[in-house]
Structure 1
Amino acid sequence: MRRSMKLAAVVLSGSLGIASLAACGAKSTDTTTSAGSGSTLKVGMAYDIGGRGDQSFNDSAARGLDNAKSQLGVTVSEAEAKTGEAEADKETRLTSLVSAGFNPIIAVGFVYQPAVEKVAKDNPNVKFAIIDSSSTTQPSNVTSLTFTEQEGSYLAGVAAALKSKTKHVGFIGGVQSELIKKFEAGYKAGVKSVDPSIAVETTYLSTPPDFTGFNDPGKGKEAAQGQLDKGADVIYSAAGSSGSGSIEAVAMAGKWAIGVDSDQAAQPALSKYKDHILTSMVKNVDTAVLAYITAAKNGNPLTGVKTFDLKANGVSLATTGNHIDDIKSQLDAAAQQITSGAVKVPTAP
């Protein structure tokens, strides 16, 4: 079980439990499932690249759906993406969920933005949520669920700086996008807040429209090895399932890895590396998903842009392994500075 520690008014913990969906889409298993009887709410979820089982971003969203299924008795369906798919594939996936009667529908990831806008405009009576995107052109039936990734990453940077013995750390981003730059910016700011002289290596695995950087553990491993060879001894990866390759390389070198989105030291596929996963910057997508579905079920749906920040436990640091217990006071102080407004964390490197 994960343990959590409080940072001032903020809980630094692994993300909450949640996950389950099925239906139309590239890797779909057509196993639409129902939980409870008498429920009229049918919730669809369309995953980003990597899908359920990525040990990271998608899994956090899936935990939210699972919790909604078990706690609220909703019917759920999940649809998975495939690497290298066209925009039309995303539109087809969402349209298939609409045709099957799912409402609301949750799109996991900013890559769905164009498809969500189009399908939502074509189906004004269906509610949609999109995670990690807040376009000003979205129709009124689309709700944005966003997070202050830079705030959680700042704390990860503080932890990295305090634990580094070489004064040399690294950041690996899956895709060089505005979203992942928020992780980079926060991390670097956190590192420099402790010691401006610490060197920070930065590597991106792909650049839009190539999104394979989120689903290529081999690239993640290679990038991490490159940073290790340059002297980095703490490496933070914000790269979806590619991060598992990075964690493997760092662990094999006996250094510190920092996970992302889910408490990666507690993920079955990565638990063998837990002694070398310093912490994970957990983005509590599950919390947002459950909140959105709960509001919809109660007849009071969330609208507009809903941001889950550090103060609201939208982002947090995992404490599995107790590896950051010795720097708790410094992390407490950093968290307090953010939540009080004394520190404004940058969103661009």
Structure 2
Amino acid sequence: MTTTLTLASVGSNSNVNIGLVLQGGPDGTKDGTQNALALQGLKDACLSSLPSSSGYQYKSCTPHTYTPQSETLGAYSGLIPSKSGENDFMMALGYYPSKAIQTAANSNGNKLFAIVDFEFTPPVGNIASVMFSEDQIGYLAGLVAGEVAKTRGGKVAVIGGVDQPSVRRQVNGFGSGVKIACSTCIAYGLYSGTFESDPKLSTTVAHLLTDRKVSVVFNAASIFGTMTLKNLTTQQGIYAIGSGSDEWVTNWAYGSVPGSEHVLTSVQMDYTVLVRSVVQSVLKANMTGGGTVFYGVNTDMRQSAIKLAPAHEAGGVYTKEVEEKMRGYVKDLTVGKLTTGVDHKSGDSRSSGSSSTSVQLLALTDKPSSSANNNKSTNSDDNTVSSSHQNHASSAYKVPRLLLDPLPLLGGMLSLFIACLVIQAIDLIGPWVVL
């Protein structure tokens, strides 16, 4: 059910109280983070004087922000319901506030709520689910990867986190974008099964991708993806495409972290644009609840919720020519000339024939091919890797033979024991033999 969101308790000539619930944690508002961008969006839209000539239905707006102590379900459970009485409209970021938002919405049927990066299915009548077009995020990354890989071996990859629709939308969007930019390129993909830090698994994934000689990798796995990209950029010189924030700023610390010169760009989700647009829509009384609102690319950067970060140190690879091509792609995507070919509900590819995926999926159990030799590889064989990587992999997982076959060890210990007995006997009888 779709419901027009109107501020039932607020007169048209009154002040509106807007509550923004930020993500929890101690570093929540540092430069470039989602919280910092969202705060700016609230400041841009929630003004002390709203111009009626621009379509605003209210006189003024007062912002309120709340930050839980941690990013857990429990941290939000008391916060949001307790603050809902103080605000005419409340919005929160991410999955963890979802249950608290629903509790508050159920108890305040005449109040307005929204949640970003989470989709209620089935929808809740007085909650708007606000989403970035995740397929476009992957699609832009795929276009960049394809353009760069044309002259760098033609193999690219995307690291997905948990295999779920939101991640599949990015993974399959990536594959579709690669095909548009470089029809001869191979796009690999994998699902790590996690978004969290896992050094051992990260090393496994890095080996999988270097074995296949990829030259560009896109992060669709949050913290896990960043960890793996840092490994690939520093150890292998592979080029990285970040996501969410400008990762060169947030995760490579303005170029002070090793490997930063290999960060091509990042596909940014601009929370400033998104929050500003949502709040403005509420204040103009044209927002709807009970459904999902999508924000994506736009040729006007001020209105584009999804955009590419600058090349920073990688300008020699992510060149002005590539940037110009990307502007053309964005324009075509904005007007509908290009589409991602991804089904929103499932996250599957609709444009890959009988297959539901637009990438060649790799399993974490995949092993390098024993037939590979002489450092040769082919574009058509997922299992063909360089012999140097094979040797590295085999030595890394080699089990000591004594642990596999204990008999030689036992025999050696018995021989040593007998030798010790003989030596002791000689020590005892030696003087008598001499006499």
1:158-307 to 2 correspondences below 5 Å? 158-164=143-149, 165-206=152-193, 213-216=194-197, 218=199, 221-222=202-203, 223-252=205-234, 253-267=236-250, 269-272=252-255, 273-296=259-282, 298=283, 300=285, 302-304=287-289, 305-307=292-294
Q: Distance in 1 between matches of 2:192 and 2:322?
A: 31
1:289 alignment partner, SS class: helix
1:152–1:281 CA contact under 8 A, matched in 2? yes
Deviations 1:39-83 (A, max 9, x none): 862523152899826988xx224412244247746231122544x
1:340 to 335, 352, 360: 335
Q: Distance in 2 between matches of 1:336 and 1:118?
A: 41
Shift of 1:125: 3.7
Q: Which runs of 5+ in 1 are unaligned?
A: 1-38, 207-212
- 1:316 maps onto 2:307 in alignment: yes
CA RMSD after TM alignment: 3.3
2:175 alignment partner, SS class: helix
In structure 2, the residue matched to 1:60 is 34
Q: Distance in 2 between matches of 1:289 and 1:258?
A: 25
TM-score, reference length from structure 2:
0.60
Q: Distance in 2 between matches of 1:306 and 1:123?
A: 21
Distance 1:148 1:274, change over 3 A: same
In structure 2, the residue matched to 1:79 is 68
2:21 to 29, 33, 45: 45
1:74 alignment partner, SS class: strand
Q: Distance in 2 between matches of 1:51 and 1:303?
A: 33
Greater C-alpha Rg: 2
Distance 1:89 1:68, change over 3 A: closer
Q: How many residues align?
A: 299
Distance 1:66 1:343, change over 3 A: closer
Of structures 1 and 2, the one with the larger relative CO (CA 8 A, separation 6+) is: 1
Distance 1:338 1:40, change over 3 A: closer
Shift of 1:286: 2.3
2:123 alignment partner, SS class: coil
What is the identity, as a one-letter code, of the residue corresponding to 2:321?
A: D
Shift of 1:122: 2.1
Q: Distance in 2 between matches of 1:157 and 1:177?
A: 19
Q: Distance in 2 between matches of 1:80 and 1:118?
A: 20
Distance 1:295 1:339, change over 3 A: closer
In structure 1, the residue matched to 2:108 is 123
Distance 1:127 1:70, change over 3 A: same
Distance 1:129 1:51, change over 3 A: farther
Q: Distance in 1 between matches of 2:206 and 2:89?
A: 39
Percentage of matched positions with identical amino acids? 20
Shift of 1:262: 1.3
2:122 to 134, 137, 146: 137
TM-score, reference length from structure 1:
0.73
Distance 1:281 1:55, change over 3 A: farther
Q: Distance in 2 between matches of 1:259 and 1:286?
A: 18
1:133 alignment partner, SS class: coil
2:41–2:273 CA contact under 8 A, matched in 1? no
